[in-house]
Amino acid sequence: MPRTNFKRVDLDRVYLPFVAVALEVVARCEARGVRYVATYGFRTFDEQAELRRLYLAGKGGKASAAGLSAHNYGLAFDFVCDGDERPGVQPDWRLPAYRVLGEETTKAGLVWGGRFGDAPHVQWPGYVSALQLTPLRTLAERSSVAAVWKQLENERGSSAWRAANPPLAAELARLGF
């Protein structure tokens, strides 16, 4: 069941409409015989800064600066492909293992990180680049992540957003958002 694929992350800190569509995506991947387990969801600015520090020191994978990752607003998940049937997660980090995730993510109107060299990453559209994320950082610093979600709710309710995101708008409508 898709929810068990998310038990390692705190779903309360992830934007609910994104959670709902991500659950659908993972269920569809599973129906195609590929199991993905979420390893990261929300990340605080401090956690992000630490990942950035490790990356700059050559000790960790590529990481954006604090406030410049969709994870900092609960708008992204990282997944690992569970490679086989044995109990527990047998990670498969080979690139082709994320092809189905990319296909189902894109079909649902979310953004797949494979577009920019980050195949395990799935996120909400419109907030990918530093330029796009900077206004969210400003808002979160002045107010809170809750204020960011409120802004996303307003945005999502606009006809311009629906026109720009037809597959995602259709998924959300079907899911009752």
Binding site for Zn ion (CB under 5 A): 76, 78, 121
Alpha helices in the chain (DSSP H): 16-31, 45-56, 99-107, 130-142, 145-156, 159-164, 166-174
Residue number, 93 or 173, with CB nearest to Zn ion: 93
Closest distance of CB 110 from Zn ion, Å: 12
Enumerate the β-bridge partners of residue 80.
37
How many angstroms separate the CA atoms of 59 and 94, rounded? Answer: 20
Closest to Zn ion by CB, 93 or 174 = 93
Structure token pair of residue 166: 């037809």
| Residue closer to Zn ion, measured from CB, 121 or 156 | 121
- Smallest gap from Cβ 136 to Zn ion, in A, equals 15
Looking at beta carbons only, is 64 or 169 nearer to Zn ion?
64
Cα-Cα-Cα-Cα torsion 98, 100, 103, 104, nearest 10 degrees, comes to -110
| Smallest gap from residue 69 Cβ to Zn ion (A) | 7
Please state, in angstroms and rounded to a whole number, the distance separating the CA atoms of residues 45 and 153: 22
Shortest CB 174 distance to Zn ion, Å: 26
> Which residue has the closest beta carbon to Zn ion?
121
